[in-house]
Structure 1
């Protein structure tokens, strides 16, 4: 990829993504950033319908933290936080909020922010990934690296839920891997260093950024990012395209929902649980209805009908018991493989 010509600038765009277990390391990093930081900081954390993160971060350090407003220009020395329900995107020195398709079961998601930053600011971007489940942020960090930016991750042994950073370490050439207590000082140092050459972004990165920005409503055959798979989207049940992103396997549906492989499995597990609970409720209701009908027929001295309804009630109860055992088995496996455990040793990144 040929470098894009232009004046050298410092690493003045810092994008940070976090999920489960990410608030405390984020507070630590913000508390360590200097008041004269010559960079703007953008934060996406997987949140519910209400978020107090801007207030939390505003109290954590000397930099002003605030929720993003659509179309607002940004400036260095400030922290901008994505609000619930919207992807945060960067373009031409301003911020955009879009209700684009969910990515990795989240909106806001980390990958859309990272991709948009890579496209707009190239080598000036530093991407930071903190504690979280599944693998949101890995594809975005790959985009940042593709254009010449830097990738920083919290060390897995320092992360409460290490899945996101482990995924990044597996699929991305990480520049720095260190505890949260050291990341703030690193970012302050990087922010005053000149950025290197910016390279042209791969076309797939541009297409996926356009989908998140709702500039591209569907994936046409000519725009496809990979091969059509036999799987369906867990969100909208449309067909999924299988994307080989380096060694990483990802999926997108024609309406734009995006998943890493583990996010697909998580979504399928959620869908299976919902189906099982619905079946359990249905069989329990059928058993109760059959029992009531049996009692009704008994009072009318219709023993043959009463016996038939009684047998049906037993069959439905037996079916419900089977489903309950399946659910108990699934819950036991989830408890046994719970997130948050510290896993294996990892090599230190460049410091």
Structure 2
């Protein structure tokens, strides 16, 4: 009995790529398709309508515990991880992964656990590397891995990361990918040759599902080492996972980062702190100016001179902070399609 499932992850320009891909699938496509597209928490959730209009298959935001039907496209709703269980879908408010919810890795891991070699994992256009760890899980469980040809992707970082870390089965353009989908959907999956890191995959899946407990943490702690860094979200200690194929981190609250997403989050945190410092300096200078100019202090030359000096000093400090903030926005990728990039103009642009 054929029971293929397709799980797809996309970020920057993913809506265009997904529309093209689903538009090439036939009305009698027999397998369910699960899509995580990076969207903001307050997105209006129009992607199912867009995809339904783009092709012949019905796309929808599923409800929690909804049963899986063949030939449907299930789209992760805003601010929820979409997880696959055997025969049904779970929606979770679990910790952000790679600074986003919904994230691609939780979908891929859950599908790999539930359906093993029947899973076809697909990484499309996007910044950074969400989806790479999940694609490794699909590969570990014997599933088929597919990556969009980087030269076709608007943002090649996610496809390139997947190709660098995973022994990908197929790398192709969207038109070829649709033909591949049809062929795979009508072919019985092969049994897996091996399954690695099962316990780690399962623990990470429980974290995404929001049922992480102390026993899980103690096990995860044994599979990782303190890295001397703090989580930029909750400030608790970060642990580096024992997975030599890809540098990944988790904190005790469950927030997960690849090395690149952690670097981007640290850059965002630095910008936030610098902006707060600039605001604090502005408030201090504003109050000092009000005191200096107040009529009651006009006769106190020593005080007004001191306040004027203070204001000048703050002006110099705020100018320096402004220069640091400008330097942050001037950072650019050494390779526009590579991995490292300015945080605000890069990853944020993927939050469609």
Residue pair 1:152, 1:174 contacting (<8 A) in 2 also = yes
Residue pair 1:217, 1:256 contacting (<8 A) in 2 also = no
Q: Which deviations, in whole Å up to 9, do the C-alpha atoms of 1:93-136 show, x marking residues without a partner? A: 00000101110001110000000000010000000111111111
Match of 1:234 in 2: 232
Which of 53, 56, 70 is the aligned partner of 2:50?
Answer: 56
Residue pair 1:118, 1:149 contacting (<8 A) in 2 also = yes
246-255 vs 52-61, which deviates more?
246-255
Match of 1:183 in 2: 177
Match of 1:348 in 2: none
Report matched runs for 1:165-204 at 5 Å: 165-198=159-192, 199-200=194-195, 202-204=198-200
Match of 2:5 in 1: 13
- Deviation of residue 217 (structure 1)? 3.5
Indicate how the Cα distance of structure 1 residues 41 and 338 shifts in structure 2: closer, same or farther if over 3 A, else same. Answer: farther
3-state SS of paired residue (1:156)? coil
Please state if 1:252 is matched with 2:244.
no
Residue pair 1:129, 1:137 contacting (<8 A) in 2 also = yes
CA RMSD of aligned residues (A): 1.8
Residue pair 1:70, 1:95 contacting (<8 A) in 2 also = yes
Which of 13, 20, 23 is the aligned partner of 1:28?
Answer: 20
Which of 142, 148, 156 is the aligned partner of 1:154?
Answer: 148
Equivalent pairs, count: 333
Match of 2:328 in 1: 330
- Deviation of residue 41 (structure 1)? 0.3
- Deviation of residue 288 (structure 1)? 1.9
2:320 & 2:213 partners in 1: Cα distance? 43
- Deviation of residue 298 (structure 1)? 7.8
- Deviation of residue 185 (structure 1)? 1.5
Match of 1:123 in 2: 117
Residue pair 1:297, 1:306 contacting (<8 A) in 2 also = no
3-state SS of paired residue (2:205)? helix
Indicate how the Cα distance of structure 1 residues 10 and 338 shifts in structure 2: closer, same or farther if over 3 A, else same. Answer: farther
Indicate how the Cα distance of structure 1 residues 248 and 223 shifts in structure 2: closer, same or farther if over 3 A, else same. Answer: closer
- Deviation of residue 220 (structure 1)? 2.9
2:30 & 2:244 partners in 1: Cα distance? 33
236-245 vs 26-35, which deviates more?
236-245
- Deviation of residue 290 (structure 1)? 1.3
Match of 1:288 in 2: 286
Please state if 1:213 is matched with 2:209.
yes
Match of 1:45 in 2: 37
1:267 & 1:129 partners in 2: Cα distance? 22
Which of 126, 140, 163 is the aligned partner of 1:132?
Answer: 126
3-state SS of paired residue (1:157)? coil
Match of 1:310 in 2: 308
1:144 & 1:342 partners in 2: Cα distance? 25
Match of 1:223 in 2: 220
3-state SS of paired residue (1:309)? helix
Residue pair 2:5, 2:33 contacting (<8 A) in 1 also = yes
